[in-house]
A and B are shown apart, each in its own frame.
Chain A
Amino acid sequence: TQLLEQSPQFLSIQEGENLTVYCNSSSVFSSLQWYRQEPGEGPVLLVTVVTGGEVKKLKRLTFQFGDARKDSSLHITAAQPGDTGLYLCAGVADSNYQLIWGAGTKLIIKP
């Protein structure tokens, strides 16, 4: 069974600080997706990383896929209150293409 461990589970920081969220597994994924979920809504896709070592940027958010395609990170620079939400990673299993979900990181950015 493929598992995806996400850390930290909870993070509360001041506006302007930087942060990194991690997704780690012992299994290889064909790709990895990052979603953000706001209270009372469903998750919305932010980015998909496909190639080992790939880096994608979305304004102040930087996503990286590990070289071995077993892990990924999300780095936010100069966090803003609008970044508050639940961040979820989901790996696409090599064997059957199903999504394997991390437990999520609840991020709160205080003004």
Chain B
Amino acid sequence: DVKVTQSSRYLVKRTGEKVFLECVQDMDHENMFWYRQDPGLGLRLIYFSYDVKMKEKGDIPEGYSVSREKKERFSLILESASTNQTSMYLCASSLSRLGTEAFFGQGTRLTVV
């Protein structure tokens, strides 16, 4: 059974902290994505990666960075957490670039206080 696993379901961090969200997939997928999900706004793409050590900005990359050192792992980094980054963060992977099915992790609900 295919699986995308996010390291935490719930996180509470203080303003200004550096936050790491980890995501691992076991499907040997090329593509990995980080989204944030807010009520009424749907899924907004933060960053994505088509290959190891490659990254591309999505629609809302400001305040975030990513790392992909291994094919199966894609990390999202909040350099200095702010309250407006309180959100649900979803990691996803897909087999290829051609708009194939996205498999999602269970999400990390991050609260910045």
Contacts and interface: CB of A to CB of B under 8 A. Distances in A.
Interface of A: 6, 9, 30-31, 33, 35, 40-45, 48, 88, 90, 92-93, 97-99, 101-104
Contacts of A35: 102
Interface stretch (B11-19, B63-71, B75-83, B93-101): B93-101
- Label chain B's interface by main secondary structure: loop
A99 B94 CA distance: 11
Interface residues of B, number: 19
B42 A101 contact: yes
Among B4, B42, B90, B102, the one with the most A-chain Cβ atoms within 10 Å of its Cβ is B42
Most B C-beta atoms less than 10 A away, residue of A6, A33, A92, A98: A98
A81 to B, nearest CB: 22
